[in-house]
Structure 1
Amino acid sequence: MSRRVAPVALLAGALLLAGCGSGDDSAADLSVSGAYMPQPVSDSMAAGFLTVTNAGGTEDELTSVTSDIGEVTAHETVDSAMREAKDLTVPAHGTLVFRSGANHLMFEKLKRKPRQGEKVTVQLHFAESGTVTVEIPVTSATYSPKTGH
């Protein structure tokens, strides 16, 4: 009897392991869209905007942002006041939006002033997904996307 049970147990184990593969919906699956930086009017500060989309079934956290152009921090607006955000959640099957008047990236102590037509490289550091590198195009100072982001 034990000879017949063993193949069934092996098959059940194999099916269980197959369910844990990359096709499962449990991991965060991040992508970035709509990135832009209005050409800064200041020589030392700029803002950046983008949308992080998580198509996966697990939330992730943006823990920091880095760039070779200067110091970068994520800011949030709470009760009409801007403050640095330590960690921002990207919900499962959701988005984290950085837009004018709300969450945004703040670039300070710029090593050079970005000009329209250039791209600024940033690294978004996530708790679970690691680092995502984004090329942010520098737009006109008055650029306002149609989507509001």
Structure 2
Amino acid sequence: MRILPTFLAAALFIGAGTALADDYAVGQLEIGQPWARATPPGASTGGGFLTVTNEGETADRLVSAASPIAGRVEIHEMRVTDDVMKMRPIADGVAIPAGETVEFKPGAFHIMFLELKGPIEQGEPVPVTLTFEKAGSIEVEMVVAPPGAPGPEHGHEHEGGH
């Protein structure tokens, strides 16, 4: 009879972890903590961020992203060149090397929402379809942090299994 309480406790712990996770998986790739920044009314662009971990033995590539909140979605990179911050779209996508994690974060690689159809609002998750060269496509929901936030809030705006 001691097994049943242990089993129930383990099931509750595992279930709680799944329900609160902001992680997704497609093929050998794990997508972690997808988030976006809220935008002011009238803004035409916004940014989305996440991590992609390749648990496989073969490299993959994020080749595109799409979202119903924007007319266009591009994969961008920001970098400082000659003391000037430059942002540019990456037409051929971002390589996700085998066994490595690539961060899409402010000031680096990011998902750029162009021609926004309305503001990105805190408390309203942003649906995004990510397409990888080998693993295929997956839809994720980005949690929305306040404007200018350095990262996602730890108090999640949504909960649920993925």
TM-score, normalised with respect to structure 2: 0.69
Structure 2 residue 80 is matched with structure 1 residue 74 = no
Say if 1:40 and 1:47, in contact at 8 Å, map to a contact too.
no
Q: How does 1:1-149 map to 2 (within 5 A)?
A: 29-41=28-40, 42-70=42-70, 71-78=72-79, 79=81, 80-86=85-91, 87-145=93-151
Whether the 8 Å CA contact 1:32–1:53 is kept in 2: the answer is yes
Query: How far apart are 1:77 and its partner, in Å?
Result: 2.4
Using the size of structure 1 for normalisation, the TM-score is 0.74
* Counterpart-to-counterpart distance in 1, 2:148 and 2:63: 29
- How far does residue 81 in structure 1 lie from its aligned partner after superposition? 1.6
Assess if the C-alpha contact under 8 Å between 1:39 and 1:116 holds in 2: yes
Query: How far did residue 143 of structure 1 move?
Result: 2.0
Q: Which has the larger radius of gyration?
A: 1
Q: Does the 8 A contact of 1:62 with 1:90 survive in 2?
A: yes
Given that 2:37 and 2:120 are in contact with CA atoms closer than 8 Å, whether structure 1 keeps it comes out as no
Measured after TM superposition, the shift of residue 144 of structure 1 is: 1.9
Deviation sequence 1:56-106 (CA, Å, 0-9, x none):
111101111111111110001243321101221011011121111111111
Secondary structure, counterpart of 2:111 in structure 1: strand
**Partners of 2:149 and 2:100 in 1: CA distance:** 26
SS of 1:141's equivalent in the other structure is coil
* Residue type at the aligned position of 2:34: A
Q: Where do 5+ consecutive residues of structure 2 fail to align?
A: 1-26, 153-162
Quote the Cα distance in structure 2 between the aligned partners of 1:130 and 1:110. Answer: 25
Structure 1 equivalent of residue 14 of structure 2 = none
Work out whether residues 67 and 121 of structure 1, in 8 Å CA contact, stay in contact via their aligned partners in 2.
yes
Paired with 1:110 and 1:38, the residues of 2 have a C-alpha distance of 13
Q: Retained in 2: the 8 A contact 1:52–1:90?
A: yes
RMSD of aligned C-alpha atoms?
1.5
User: What is the identity percentage for the equivalent residue pairs of Structure 1 and Structure 2?
Assistant: 36
